[in-house]
Structure 1
Amino acid sequence: MRGFDLSLYLVLDPGLCAGIGMVETARAAVAGGATMVQLRDKQAGMAQMIATGRALKAALAGTGAKLIVNDDVAAAIAIGADGVHVGQGDMGVAETRARIGPGSILGLSVETPQLAAAADPALVDYIGTGPVFATPTKPDHKQPVGFNGLAANVAASPVPAVAIGGLKARHVVQALTAGAAGIAVVSAICGRRDPEAAARTLANEISDFRTRLRK
């Protein structure tokens, strides 16, 4: 059973997190309400990825937050991570699913409604979609889609979607109104003086929005 909560999805950046490190940033963010943590480090070698991932797994143990590894399937398996997130240019979803098995979470980046619609729910558990805004944390990103583009991608997807790309607390309502199941953030938490407080602000915005919807 691949249960997970996309509400507040932290994507770790080794540069932004350098002050206190990725493990401590993740620990603080989860204490503040982050529900998923993605290890993304394009410069790290295999041994470093595994070491960081295992430290993250230990830090998140018992919290309920899920640990996802970006792109590196072999490292994810070695870490015993909860899942993998791949992009359109990474290992294909069929091969990734075959390697990680049916019990792991598999996320896929999509930028267009056509790609969103093509996400196979037999293989893919969620999509990460955007970028909503331009963001310096991923300089090679595709053209920003804005909230209208986000809504179109979400509507086309057969699986839940998490919005990503330059999102801050002030954007939570628009992202969730567009249909996203949650928001993925980097600089809104990484590198902040108090990552726990930053995460709590975001988590409270998400909770408040959902409370208003239920009324």
Structure 2
Amino acid sequence: MDPTTWRTYLVTGAAHSAGRDTPSVVADALDGGIDAVQLRDKEATARQRYHTGQRLRELTEAAGVPLVVNDRIDLARAIDADGVHLGQSDLPAEVARDQLGQSAIVGVSASTVAEATTAEAAGADYLGVGAVFGTTSKDVPDEENGIDTERVKAIADAVDIPVIGIGGIDATNAGSVVEAGATGVAVISAITAADDPQAATAALREVVSDV
């Protein structure tokens, strides 16, 4: 459950899953060796995400892989997730820690050194840094879409907590993100949209493990 060991991280996205349901994609990714899973599925209702989250909790718990929930502290509590991942406009990390407990995993998105150091000071366990390369899988302000690996390096050098690069990452460029100082990489469509999510996960894992 330690973010310092996360090399590959799946963010779920039903809209990018070629008609497949999220639990089946996550099951394939777990078989491929994914290290962490984040329940996102922003297009779904809260109730739909709750039911999906219950199934993901079963799958990840059986595999010994941490499950975090995007944005929603209440949903993380409801499905007994391992933690939550917060954006810059979400509730502060301190609130998540208070609500979920000291053992919970709390991640925070950051695209600048200032955001990263603030999140670390607030008690974040890891950072999701990006969008490293241009992405269309999630809504990202233009100034944060394509920060490139130099920013990843600057952030990694400024903090002592794990940095997970995200945004436009796949097996062709993941190595450069880790070379810049990231502990690992997070992806959406590189796995969810793949013809074979298990094989895509294994390929991504091989790339970052070789760095």
Same fold at TM > 0.5: yes
1:123 is aligned to 123
Of residues 59-68 and 159-168 in structure 1, the stretch that sits farther from structure 2 once superposed is: 59-68
1:3 is aligned to 2
2:58 is aligned to 58
- Displacement of 1:44 in angstroms is 2.5
1:212 is aligned to none
The answer to whether the 8 Å contact 1:132/1:163 transfers is: yes
Q: Percent identity?
A: 36
The answer to whether the 8 Å contact 1:19/1:191 transfers is: no
Counterpart among 178, 181, 201 of residue 180 in structure 2: 178
The answer to whether the 8 Å contact 2:14/2:20 transfers is: no
Structure 1 CA distance for aligned equivalents of residues 162 and 61 of structure 2: 25
2:98 is aligned to 98
Structure 2 CA distance for aligned equivalents of residues 207 and 158 of structure 1: 21
Q: For residues 56-96 of structure 1, what are the alpha-carbon distances to aligned partners after superposition, in whole Å with 9 as ceiling and x for unaligned?
A: 11122221211110001101100000110000100111111
Runs of 4+ in structure 1 deviating by more than 6 angstroms, as ranges, are: none
Give the RMSD, CA atoms, in angstroms. 1.4
Unaligned runs of 5+ in 1: 210-215
Structure 2 CA distance for aligned equivalents of residues 23 and 73 of structure 1: 21
Structure 2 CA distance for aligned equivalents of residues 133 and 96 of structure 1: 28
1:87 is aligned to 87
1:143 is aligned to 145
Structure 1 CA distance for aligned equivalents of residues 123 and 101 of structure 2: 10
Of residues 52-61 and 177-186 in structure 1, the stretch that sits farther from structure 2 once superposed is: 52-61
Q: For residues 29-77 of structure 1, what are the alpha-carbon distances to aligned partners after superposition, in whole Å with 9 as ceiling and x for unaligned?
A: 1111111011112232222121110101112222121111000110110
Unaligned runs of 5+ in 2: none
Q: Which amino acid aligns with 2:120?
A: D
TM-score by length of 2: 0.93
Structure 2 CA distance for aligned equivalents of residues 75 and 197 of structure 1: 30
Counterpart among 141, 157, 160 of residue 158 in structure 1: 160
1:213 is aligned to none
Q: Which amino acid aligns with 1:204?
A: E
1:111 is aligned to 111
Query: Relative to total residues, which structure has the larger helix share, 1 or 2?
Result: 2
Structure 1 CA distance for aligned equivalents of residues 70 and 109 of structure 2: 10
* Count of equivalent residues: 208
- Displacement of 1:119 in angstroms is 2.1
- Displacement of 1:121 in angstroms is 5.3
